[in-house]
Amino acid sequence: MKKFIFLSIIISTLSLSGCASKVYKSEAFQTKGQFALVQVTGQTSGFGLGTKEDKKLLTTLSSVIYKEFKSTKHFRLISPNTVKKNRTYRRLKTDTSEGLLSLKTAKGYKKFDPRDHKKDMARLFKELKVNAIISVSAGYHKVNSGFTLSGLLPIPIPVSAGKANGKLTLSIVATDKNNQIIWQDIIEKETEGVGQFMGISNFNKLYPQLIDISKLAAREAVTNLNKNITIARK
């Protein structure tokens, strides 16, 4: 999975350091330059979703990210359509695999390691007139809790009941034109959950909660960014 070593290393580093939110170059935010969201990738686990449903959830996430990130005073996020319609971006030769174990992408976005496309990235920065690019990766996981009754009822199989929660791990990485990380964050959120019986839960009731925690995670990332820049400038 060479294409995703970039994000994987960052996630591991953050976990080990115990500090998920960090601004490495506060000066990169002083002029309120333009940033571009170039990647929204992710996976779901435990919900029984297919590729189509995964992509729908990630596409909704991309809209949430754009809306929430526009609220910061420290950079201007250019339109997603500007990125997606850019000729250099469209011509990027990227990983298009979307099997069961592969990261999926939001509609119109690509998945790639910027380090593998240095010339294209230089061109993209110039054409989009941006100071940094942002990559977002999300993992949505189903978490079960409850109890199992076995041998207490006149039926030959155990009976389980409880609650299903959705958990989100959102990773954000912003890099400058030299491919240096200027901002990164990892946010974790969990839904209130819905009831389930025999491992079966109503995903239609859980889905809106996944969107809600996506909004909360993106909002928290912006709050962390604003706070860290304020501290760095003191």
Q: CATH number of the domain that 52 lies in?
A: 3.40.50
Start-to-end Cα distance in the chain: 41
> String of b and e for 162-179 (b: at least 16 CB within 10 Å)?
bebbbbbbbbbbbbbeee
pLDDT at 100: 61
Number of domains in the chain: 1
- Domain holding 21, by residue range, is 2-232
- Find how far residue 122's CA is from the centre of its chain: 24
pLDDT at 166: 86
pLDDT at 142: 83
pLDDT along the chain (234 residues), means of 10: 42 46 85 92 84 92 97 95 97 76 89 91 97 96 60 42 80 94 94 56 77 96 93 78
CA distance linking residue 51 with residue 63, whole number of Å = 19
